[in-house]
A and B are shown apart, each in its own frame.
Chain A
Amino acid sequence: MSKTILIAEDDQMMLSLLEFKLKKEGFVTILAENGKQAMEIIKKESPDLFLIDIMMPFINGLELTSFIRNELNSKVPIVVLSSAGQEEMVMKAFNLGANDFIPKPFSPNELIIRIKRILKL
């Protein structure tokens, strides 16, 4: 059965790019354009992995990670996407329970390998 990945990313272009690549690799994707939207979706859906951009409007990636781990008590793997200069936020994300991080710029192929490794595919 295909694994489902929730992508929370405010950059439309990056969101489309991740969606395309993940679908091409056989994953089912659920898209959220910001943290708030992601929270709403998480309450109804249960993805197999979260792919979260750290910097998002309204509710950022750290708050979303905290929500998943502390409020939902979910153990679903979380991978965070970060840009250069966000090392401190990445550390915070790990402290909150993120499993891995992908720094931008990134290779989509590397992203797929990492996701497959986390999902043990």
Chain B
Amino acid sequence: MSIYWLVDSYQAFPLLVKVLISLCLLFTVLGITFFALSGYSRILASINNRRREKIKHRYIELIIPLIFEESGTKEAYDKALHSFRKEFLGKRGRRQLLLNVLVEQHDDLSGEAAQRVRQVYIDLELFKDSFAKLKDYQWHIKVKGIRELAQMQVSEASKNIEGFIDSKNTILAKEALLGLVQLREFKALAYINRYRYELSDWQMLSILEVLSSFDRENIPSFARWLDSEKNSMVIFCLRLIAVFHQREAEYQVVKLLENKERSIRKEAVRTMRALQLNNHVDLIVGIYQTETKDVRLEILGAVGDLSMGEQKQFLEGEFLQPDFEISFAAAEALMKTSYNSKNDFKQLSASFDETHTRIIDHVTHEMLKS
């Protein structure tokens, strides 16, 4: 069977069969090529991964003594840095790998060890790589640069990062804001006020977590931002007032009960509860009837924490409401302020419907009593 025979046979087939055979051949060749290429790229990726792991391991071996040799001389440290720079930092990929190692270490450590990691980052001039990332055209590279500079506390970077909080890319803007908080601590609150987007709950939590780690001696009065036009800024400041227990903001917090925005009124009640402002219980009970359900629930919770039993009648009335959540919150508040057992509830009615009975069983359960 020669090639000529194959060609002759092929030419003898009708056109449709010829097309089908050609297509089969074409797809077979394409399939084989695809599998060969994907296999090759997987092998290549696995070799690269192994190589990267090996280099990373070597970096770790070299960097750890630099961080922990407290007794080492400056000359020895400089010599180690020099050989490190010469031997490993020529290639961009390797520099990034080292940068990742240092950032990760800085994230896991605190105190002197973290300071030493930062010093290695500065001395090896890796901050230049982080700054260069801020100029990259891809937003995710910019984000990486912001995170590196913020993590390593390069305070000079705040000016470069500042511009990104106005970015149309919301992720970049969020990262820039968080980076500025890490770098400028409480001073960054001014940036939050001019931040063009509303703060999400997640963002507030992230910023609060960062702020909580700072020295509490330099905390500004958060009440000054309570008149911000941005609702999320007001809510965030109320949360800061609650977390940092700024009781001196009492007047401004109470004033926010008159705010037209429901979420702000709700947060104000929550803040009053956190600050233990029990001299305003009558006031929050006074606005109860005009409030929305979620604010009412917040008020019932606050009354439970702040009242000394003087709101018993109000709470009993709310407990008898048909709304499950309202009734439940009122029952909890009653148990905290006025009642001790199931018998106390029996004074309200000879018999309760199934929902109320369940609520009573729940709130009077021994394990839930405070």
Interfacial chain B residues near A110, Cβ < 8 Å: 111
Interface pair A109/B104, CB less than 8 Å apart: no
Q: Which of A11, A13, A21, A104 contacts B68 (CB 8 A)?
A: A21
Which of B67, B105, B108 has the most chain A CB atoms closer than 10 A to its own CB?
B108
The binding surface of chain B is classed by DSSP as helix
Interface pair A16/B107, CB less than 8 Å apart: no
Restricting to B95-119, which residues have a CB under 8 Å from any CB of A? 101, 104-105, 107-114
What 0/1 readout, one digit per residue, does chain B (208-222) give for beta carbons within 8 Å of chain A?
010000000000000
* A24 in contact (CB, < 8 A): yes
* A91 in contact (CB, < 8 A): no
* B188 in contact (CB, < 8 A): no
Q: Which of B60, B61, B112, B209 contacts A107 (CB 8 A)?
A: B112
Interface pair A106/B209, CB less than 8 Å apart: no
Give the distance to chain A from B256, nearest Cβ to Cβ, in Å. Answer: 30
Interface pair A16/B60, CB less than 8 Å apart: yes
* B17 in contact (CB, < 8 A): no
Interface pair B209/A105, CB less than 8 Å apart: no
Give the distance to chain A from B67, nearest Cβ to Cβ, in Å. Answer: 8
Interface pair B64/A107, CB less than 8 Å apart: no
Interfacial chain B residues near A109, Cβ < 8 Å: 111-113
Q: In the complex, A107→B108 CA distance in Å?
A: 9
Interfacial chain A residues near B112, Cβ < 8 Å: 107, 109
Interface pair A106/B64, CB less than 8 Å apart: no
Interfacial chain B residues near A11, Cβ < 8 Å: 104, 108
* A14 in contact (CB, < 8 A): yes
Interface pair B68/A106, CB less than 8 Å apart: no
Restricting to A72-121, which residues have a CB under 8 Å from any CB of B? 84, 104-110
Interface pair B111/A12, CB less than 8 Å apart: no
| B101 closest partner in A (C-beta) | A13
Q: Which of B56, B57, B101, B110 contacts A105 (CB 8 A)?
A: B110
Interface pair B105/A13, CB less than 8 Å apart: yes
* B322 in contact (CB, < 8 A): no
Interfacial chain A residues near B64, Cβ < 8 Å: 16-17, 20
Give the distance to chain A from B65, nearest Cβ to Cβ, in Å. Answer: 7
Interfacial chain B residues near A14, Cβ < 8 Å: 108
Q: Which of A12, A84, A108 contacts B109 (CB 8 A)?
A: A108
Which of A13, A104, A110 has the most chain B CB atoms closer than 10 A to its own CB?
A13
Q: Which of A12, A20, A21, A106 contacts B108 (CB 8 A)?
A: A106
Interface pair B65/A108, CB less than 8 Å apart: no
Q: Which of B61, B65, B108 contacts A104 (CB 8 A)?
A: B108
Q: Could you list some 29 contacts between A and B, CB below 8 A?
A: A11-B108, A12-B60, A13-B56, A13-B60, A13-B101, A13-B104, A13-B105, A13-B108, A16-B61, A16-B64, A17-B60, A17-B108, A20-B64, A20-B65, A20-B68, A84-B209, A104-B107, A105-B107, A105-B108, A105-B110, A106-B110, A107-B109, A107-B112, A107-B114, A108-B109, A108-B111, A108-B113, A109-B113, A110-B111
Query: Which chain B residues have a beta carbon within 8 Å of chain A's beta carbons?
Result: 56-57, 60-61, 64-65, 67-68, 101, 104-105, 107-114, 209
Query: Which chain A residues have a beta carbon within 8 Å of chain B's beta carbons?
Result: 11-14, 16-17, 20-21, 24, 84, 104-110
